[in-house]
Structure 1
Amino acid sequence: MKKIQLSDGMPSSIRRTEAREETRTLTDEICKLCKRSKLSYAEINKALYLADKELYIGVMNKSGD
């Protein structure tokens, strides 16, 4: 299985000011959705983990075509 690079060559600590505008917009939208959900931190973290897992699997499936 081919490994994919998750970090995009970016450092592990990314500053908001260094991120592309699209990345900042997505971050803002995710934060708004999380606040609106009124879930606990643990539940939000689980949801983010599951979303990340689904995105990762989607990328892996595309790269395996």
Structure 2
Amino acid sequence: MLSCRQEAIMTVDTNSLILEQLRLIRKEIAVLRKTVESADNQMRELEYRMIQTQAAARPCY
């Protein structure tokens, strides 16, 4: 059976590991947000180019 002190130390160690994992997850989320933002910008650029191409391809009367 663990003493109260041993349990407290284990709890602190466990909480430290959890906090470290949360920090890593936050970093991963930040990278994913930047990736999504970049992809969104690329999609907008492609949509703009597609509209320009369609406008240029219309027959002139």
Give the TM-score category using the shorter length: 0.3 to 0.5
Structure ranking higher on relative contact order (CA contacts 8 Å, 6+ apart): 1
TM-score normalized with structure 1 length? 0.40
TM-score normalized with structure 2 length? 0.42
- The structure in which a higher percent of residues are helix is 2
